[in-house]
Amino acid sequence: MPYNRTIQYLLLCLLLAVVAGSSTARLRAQSNSFFNQRDDEYRLLGLKRAKEAYDFARREFERNQELYRQQLIPQADLERARSLLADAEVNYQQSLLAVLFETQYVSVVQAVKYQDPAGNKRVRLTLANTSGGGEEFRKLLNIDDELFRSLQPDVINYVYVALMNEEGAIVSQPYEAKIDQLVFGQPKELDFTLLQDLDAVTVNIVYGNGTSRTMKIFLQKDASVDKVIVQSEQFSQEAELGETASFDLQLELFSGTRNTFFLEVVNLPEQINRFFQDPESQARLTQIRFTESTHTRRALLQVSLPDRPTAAVPMDQSIPFYVLLVPADQPDLIRRADGHEWSLEEIRRLNVGYVRLELVPRGKGRLLIRAPQLYQSITGPAPVTMSLDVVNEGTRRLDNVEIRAEPPFNWRKDIQPAVIPRLDIGQEQRIELHFTPPADIAVGRYEIRVRTSALSDNQPVNADDKILVVEVKPETDIQATAIIVGLIVTLVLGIVVVGIRLARR
């Protein structure tokens, strides 16, 4: 009897060993069968295969745990099942991460360009996680375990964004913005300052495991502003009286309802002429229209100063004024009584586009030399006297008007006055020039160069040089001339007498 029990016990142990060996073999076979050479190409199917292998390995491990607790298998078989489960879990995680990273997608939902109160151009960029893989994977693979949820398939981590121009240079401040987590269904908004005023930018996005996207987008305009933004790089200029100053205006439409606007100027004195001009066609403008494809325009404001300063146009004093873009459907918006001075607060309450400009009238003296006579002849070393009129034909007082003469060698000169301390606008003063040639002056033509210079607002002003010509003629012998004249008279009288006598015969 004991011998039979021993035989039965040995047979039972052998049966359990065979079962354990076959289960281990099946586990190894199953764990090694989840990989397919096309899993890298069809990652979703590879994930499904890895999920099935992981589930099988987990069930086998749990069954081996139960057998080990019943002391039906050795610990080595349990450890082997644990190792196979760990391998299957790692492969499942890798396949899951590969699918999640492959389907991650960040989209630009909106890019709105606007101007802040300080006048800086900014871009409000809205990004969204449009991958939405979580629910799709759950339905397709029937995945709803803790591992899947811990990987956060609906979250894209560490999204980096920058704005660039056509040359690839970053034109945004900050240079690069970071979003720690971009959750599906929860768009995030970023705000950049544009370092370069552009209508189209390139958005560079890097996210996930290094995936990058680069797209060139046209910036939308913030239509809620409902006006035209006006800017001028040459907002403050100096111009001489009698000249014209040109202000370059950049007009950018931020409106969804209006596209036609009047160009108006306020607070500029009536003595100053003004008109708007198209920089390309040179046509004069009173209104400007924006099209659907063109939200940015340019215009020139031409401002002509009077020839002389007045009370309304004082010299060297700044004249501030404003350019307004008034909607075409509100033409009476800025009509006031003549001479009304608009304040900045009043203009802001109009809720129209405007820019503050500044004009400083400047003047410059202009020397004009008038010479009644530039030629004179003398006999021998006779003194020469000439006069010049110095006139200020400019728009600013002339100071220290100096007259210099360059006579020939050994000639003496005397200029009265040699320096005019002050010459007002339109004032005229006569200069007397006296030259004395040397006693042994030779016969011929001599030139005297006269130069005139002055200062106008500490700037040098020169007049055109004048060339005076003096011709020295030889002296005549009076006695010889008298003898010759007497002989001629005697000869004529003799001929007359002879003629009379012949007539009487």
503 within some domain? no
490 within some domain? no
**Do 336 and 426 reside in the same domain of the chain?**
no
**Do 132 and 97 reside in the same domain of the chain?**
no
497 within some domain? no
Measuring CA to CA, which residue among 445, 448, 446, 450 is closest to residue 431? Answer: 450
485 within some domain? no
Distance CA 253, CA 261 (A): 10
**Do 239 and 328 reside in the same domain of the chain?**
yes
pLDDT in the model for residue 431: 92
Residue 255 maps to which CATH number?
A: 2.60.40.1510
498 within some domain? no
**Do 141 and 74 reside in the same domain of the chain?**
no
pLDDT in the model for residue 477: 57
**Do 339 and 377 reside in the same domain of the chain?**
no
Domain finish residue from 103, 131, 154:
103
Distance CA 306, CA 274 (A): 11
Which tokens in the block code for residue 167? 């040359």
**Do 241 and 214 reside in the same domain of the chain?**
no
Residue 122 maps to which CATH number?
A: 2.60.40.2550
**Do 270 and 346 reside in the same domain of the chain?**
yes
Which tokens in the block code for residue 119? 């006048």
**Do 231 and 357 reside in the same domain of the chain?**
yes
**Do 230 and 356 reside in the same domain of the chain?**
yes
Domain count, the chain: 4
Domain finish residue from 362, 382, 407:
362
Residue 415 maps to which CATH number?
A: 2.60.40.10
Collapsed DSSP state (helix, strand, coil) of residue 222: coil
Q: Whole-model pTM?
A: 0.57
Domain finish residue from 322, 340, 362:
362
**Do 306 and 280 reside in the same domain of the chain?**
yes
Distance CA 318, CA 358 (A): 6
pLDDT in the model for residue 149: 55
Check if the beta carbon of residue 264 is closer than 8 Å to that of residue 324.
yes
pLDDT in the model for residue 487: 84
| Domain ranges, residue 171 | 106-221
13 within some domain? no
pLDDT in the model for residue 99: 61
Run means of pLDDT, 10 residues per run, the chain, 505 residues: 44 42 44 47 64 83 85 85 84 68 77 83 89 55 55 77 92 91 88 89 87 87 78 88 90 80 90 91 89 84 89 88 89 71 88 91 87 86 90 88 91 91 90 91 89 88 90 72 81 81 74
496 within some domain? no
Residue with tokens 């076979």, as numbered in its chain = 29
User: What is the side-by-side order of every strand in the sheet holding 220-221?
Assistant: 172-173, 188-194, 121-129, 106-115, 220-221
479 within some domain? no
**Do 124 and 140 reside in the same domain of the chain?**
yes
Check if the beta carbon of residue 443 is closer than 8 Å to that of residue 472.
yes
**Do 232 and 356 reside in the same domain of the chain?**
yes
